[in-house]
Amino acid sequence: MASIRDLTEYVIQADIEKVKETTAALLAAGEDPLRLINEGLIPGINEVGERFKEGIMFVPEMMMSAQAMKAGVDLAKEKIEGVDIPTVGTVVIGTVAGDLHDIGKNLVSMMLDSSGFNVVDLGVDVPADKFVAAVKEHKASIVGLSALLTTTMPAMKEVIDALKESNLRDQVKVVIGGAPVTQAYADEIGADGYAPDAAIAVELCKKIA
Amino acid sequence: MEYASKHGDGIAFRTLTLQQLKDIHSASCRILDEVGVVVHHDEAVDLLKKGGAYIDSNGRTHIPEALIKRALHSAPSRITLYNRLGEPVIWMEKSNVHFGAGSDTLVYLDPFTGERRDWTTEEVAAAIRVVDALPQLDFVMSMGLLSDVDKRMINRIQYALMLKNSVKPQVVIAEDAPTVADITEMAAAAVGGREKLKNMPHFVLYCEPTSPLQLPFESVDKLLYAAENKIPVNFACGAVEGASTPVTVAGTVAQANAEALCGLVLHQLKNPGAPFLYGFGGSPLDMRTMVACYAVPEVLLLQGCVCDLSRFYSLPSWGYAGCSSSKDFDEQAITEATMFTVMGALQGCNLMHDVFYIESGRTGSLELLVLMDEVISRARHILKGVNTTPEYLAVEAVKRVGPGGNYMGDAHTAKHFREKWQPSLSDFSSYSSWEAAGSKSMRERIRERLRSIMEEHKPVPLAPEVEEKIDAVIKQAEDRLGIKL
């Protein structure tokens, strides 16, 4: 019979099937679902995070591990209907109006998700009012804006203005990113932070969440 | 297939076999047929539909191979580009190689102080004049993003700067079709009218899909405008391997080729026979740092695939050279930029851009540009190959000099020694002469050359009435966009 410790190892190995199998077996044997999550699955992704920092594991491996952890968490959650699973914070993220580029945004989105954030990804070409509505609906604490084109960068400011108009600006931190975006531009439009890459974006969100 | 060397079968660098080329073509056709693309442009969807494409219930456009064959048949296999004076200077076909700078870097690395800062209009103008002066650089691009003008005017003002500061042809980035229309207007003023420009193109337009497999409105709009006006145009994805394209070289080539062919199909449906430039590039995601890297070995292999495919399709080729992912003009920059330049030359890429890029395109280094001018000259000399005619086999000279003689005093030496490659920067003097001349490092010599170009080089000026016309186009665009100065 596999143990909770095996679950941790399977998350590190990103073996989705083994995680599912073991989680199901432990649950069937009467194991506490919250204990499975907190002592089996999450230590796995934490270890992956450590190995990533040390340069032993890379992002694709981290993402596969996150998927494996999720598969286990989903099974465990079925047994604890109604109990809130704590998250680090809620982030509303999207590529601003007029821009279809989403590789960088998706990467940030996936890495935030893997780091325990509740991520609401609005996709691409997102108008300012949609960001505002999502912040209200999901009670987000962070708004992430992405743009790859110099011509769509001004749309980032429009989102900040719209948040101000809706009296939401004080409730959320706005972080921006994208190839042509700079710290100077973040300062210029009054964003709370700028991240030059996905790993820094996650660090930044953890810091300000 | 034809390769670079001018002599015999000579020097050739082949990346793919004929079977591999067919396998890639087949994979790309399967992608366009089975996966399809998303086209954000109504006229384009209509053109594709009428041409025989299938639009599924999710709005994806599936392109059958027959459409691709037709497009490959009607597209020209060669394009000539003319300089501002109307002289043909770039011949994109076979394995001819041409080099040029890059566009829109964010940071200017001051070659004299080492300071990193935003580009100003004056610095971009000066950088374009440097490209104009360097003999091995064949075309200009916009160098840097202007930090001191209204964002909506950047591409137009960059183009005016290119026309005013160089006679060389350009490769142009534009945010949308109206910007291309203004650029076309300025080019027509410079070369002597729209009709002349249409038949003797002075610039190439750079368009790109948004990978994976999306055709955004602006790109398609520009592509169709270019087709209509016979402006040479590419549809070149900048693959980020492992993110926007598959992580493998072959997978990236299969998808990027599908995207380029999709652009070609649309382009040829709009105006059969209009000039199209085939190619794409890549910057694989470093999975440790999440930074997209330029000039790594996989990218050089990818460019080998592009060049072999372009000859397989009989289309002119577009690619990269002389660029680096290094943060400074340092040993890494020189290693990567030199490898890319030499490989690109051997691969026979018709139009290679981004010479002077460091930090994977975020920063521009004029020092690297000047050094690459000499590297290109070395590479071009290699491409000449080896002449093995009797005069060059020199048996008669060997007879004359005989055992124990010296070729220094022979007529054959006097006749041919000037054909040897000569450096513009490298130093071949003895240690003592080098020391006596100040022990100048390559870097110091590069800066001296840059300084003298910046102080002395005067590009062939535009006629005053042409300058007025160009300024009027800029002024009208500002009025149209409601920009107050």
Alpha-carbon gap: B61 to the closest alpha carbon of chain A (Å)? 18
Q: How confident is the model at residue A34 (pLDDT cuts 50, 70, 90)?
A: confident
B483 touches B199 (CB < 8 A) = no
Residues A110 and A19 in one domain: no
* Ordered alpha helix ranges (H), B88-144: 121-133
Domain count, chain A: 2
Q: What percent of chain A has pLDDT over 70?
A: 97
Find chain A residues with C-beta within 8 A of B40's C-beta: 100
Q: How confident is the model at residue B173 (pLDDT cuts 50, 70, 90)?
A: very high
Pick from B40, B176, B287: CB nearest A59: B287
- By C-alpha distance, the chain A residue nearest B208 is A101
Q: Please check whether residue A34 lies inside any domain of the structure.
A: yes
Q: What is the mean pLDDT of chain A?
A: 89
Positive or negative CA dihedral for B312, B313, B314, B315?
Answer: negative
Q: Output phi, psi for B314, to 5 deg.
A: 55, 50
At A78 the pLDDT is 86
Q: Which residue has the higher pLDDT, B4 or B120?
A: B120
Please give the single-letter amino acid code of residue B90: I
Pick from B152, B175, B290: CB nearest A198: B290
Residue with tokens 């160009």: B470
At A62 the pLDDT is 85
Pick from A100, A151, A154: CB nearest B214: A100
Candidates A51, A58, A61: best to mutate against B (most CBs of B within 10 A) is A58
Distance (Å, rounded) from C-alpha B207 to C-alpha B382?
32
Residues A35 and A114 in one domain: no
CATH number of the domain to which A202 belongs: 3.40.50.280
At A112 the pLDDT is 86
Query: Which of A83-87, B74-78, B121-125, B417-421 is predicted with the least confidence, judged by mean pLDDT?
Result: A83-87
Distance (Å, rounded) from C-alpha B197 to C-alpha B187?
7
- The first and second tokens of residue B192, run together, are 């002597």
At B122 the pLDDT is 98
Is residue B10's pLDDT more than 90? no
Asked if A197 and B106 come within 8 Å (Cβ–Cβ), the reply is no
Asked if A182 and B106 come within 8 Å (Cβ–Cβ), the reply is yes
Peptide bond into B212 cis (omega under 30): yes
Q: Output phi, psi for A157, to 5 deg.
A: -65, -35
- Residue ending a domain, choose from A27, A55, A80: A80
- By C-alpha distance, the chain A residue nearest B288 is A58
Asked if B210 and A101 come within 8 Å (Cβ–Cβ), the reply is yes
At B5 the pLDDT is 53
Residues A126 and A34 in one domain: no
Distance (Å, rounded) from C-alpha B378 to C-alpha B321?
14
At B8 the pLDDT is 52
Q: Does an H or E element contain B282, and which?
A: strand B281-282
Is residue B7's pLDDT more than 80? no
Asked if A150 and B151 come within 8 Å (Cβ–Cβ), the reply is yes
B99 touches B322 (CB < 8 A) = yes
Q: Please check whether residue A61 lies inside any domain of the structure.
A: yes
Q: What angle do CA A160, A164, A170 make, to 5 degrees?
A: 95
Residues A103 and A75 in one domain: no
At B179 the pLDDT is 97
- Give the tens place of pLDDT for each residue, B323-372: 999 999 999 999 999 999 999 999 999 999 999 999 999 999 999 999 99
Q: Please check whether residue A57 lies inside any domain of the structure.
A: yes
Is residue A86's pLDDT more than 80? no
**Helix (H/G/I), strand (E/B), else coil: B111:** coil
Q: Rounded to the nearest 10 degrees, what angle do helices A4-13 and A42-53 cross at?
A: 40
Residue with tokens 């989105």: A109
At A180 the pLDDT is 85
Is residue B302's pLDDT more than 90? yes
Residues A108 and A193 in one domain: yes
Residues A171 and A98 in one domain: yes
Residues A119 and A25 in one domain: no
Find chain A residues with C-beta within 8 A of B243's C-beta: 103, 107
Residues A74 and A132 in one domain: no
Q: Does ipTM surpass 0.85 in this model?
A: no
Asked if A59 and B290 come within 8 Å (Cβ–Cβ), the reply is yes
Is residue B17's pLDDT more than 80? yes
Candidates A54, A62, A151: best to mutate against B (most CBs of B within 10 A) is A151
- By C-alpha distance, the chain A residue nearest B215 is A100
Distance (Å, rounded) from C-alpha A36 to C-alpha A39?
6
Is residue A83's pLDDT more than 70? no
Candidates B37, B287, B290: best to mutate against A (most CBs of A within 10 A) is B290
Residues A76 and A120 in one domain: no
Distance (Å, rounded) from C-alpha B60 to C-alpha B62?
6
CATH number of the domain to which A27 belongs: 1.10.1240.10
Residues of A with CB under 8 A from a CB of B: 55, 58-60, 100-101, 103, 107, 149-151, 153-154, 179-180, 182, 197-199
Q: How confident is the model at residue B25 (pLDDT cuts 50, 70, 90)?
A: very high
Domains and CATH numbers, chain B: 18-72 (no CATH), 74-383 (3.20.20.480), 390-418 (no CATH)
Q: How confident is the model at residue B1 (pLDDT cuts 50, 70, 90)?
A: very low
**Helix (H/G/I), strand (E/B), else coil: A128:** helix
Asked if A107 and B290 come within 8 Å (Cβ–Cβ), the reply is yes
Distance (Å, rounded) from C-alpha B101 to C-alpha B337?
12
Asked if A107 and B243 come within 8 Å (Cβ–Cβ), the reply is yes
The partner residues of B328 in beta bridges, in order of sequence, read: none
Q: What angle do CA A115, A16, A56 make, to 5 degrees?
A: 55
Is residue A10's pLDDT more than 50? yes
Q: What percent of chain B has pLDDT over 70?
A: 98
Q: What is the mean pLDDT of chain B?
A: 95
Q: Please check whether residue A176 lies inside any domain of the structure.
A: yes
Q: What angle do CA A144, A150, A153 make, to 5 degrees?
A: 35
- Nearest CA among B279, B222, B220 for reference residue B61: B220
Residues A40 and A101 in one domain: no
Residues A43 and A139 in one domain: no
Asked if A58 and B210 come within 8 Å (Cβ–Cβ), the reply is no
- Give the tens place of pLDDT for each residue, B50-68: 999 999 999 999 999 999 9
Distance (Å, rounded) from C-alpha B104 to C-alpha B133?
20
Q: What is the extent of the structural domain holding A126?
A: 90-208
CB neighbour list of residue A32: distance below 8 Å, 6 or more residues apart: none
Residue with tokens 């006679």: B167
* Ordered alpha helix ranges (H), B280-421: 297-313, 331-347, 366-383, 390-393, 395-401, 411-416
In this structure, what DSSP letter does residue A85 have?
A: P
- Nearest CA among B187, B206, B379 for reference residue B280: B206
At B263 the pLDDT is 98
Q: Output phi, psi for B460, to 5 deg.
A: -55, 120
Alpha-carbon gap: A18 to the closest alpha carbon of chain B (Å)? 25
Residues A44 and A137 in one domain: no
- Residue ending a domain, choose from A45, A80, A115: A80
At A142 the pLDDT is 95
Q: Please check whether residue A85 lies inside any domain of the structure.
A: no
Is residue B237's pLDDT more than 90? yes
- Residue ending a domain, choose from A80, A112, A127: A80
At A84 the pLDDT is 65
- The first and second tokens of residue B463, run together, are 């006629």
- By C-alpha distance, the chain B residue nearest A201 is B290
CB neighbour list of residue B472: distance below 8 Å, 6 or more residues apart: none
At A115 the pLDDT is 75
Q: Which region holds residue B107: left if phi is over 0, alpha if psi is between -120 and 50, else beta?
A: beta
Is residue B412's pLDDT more than 60? yes
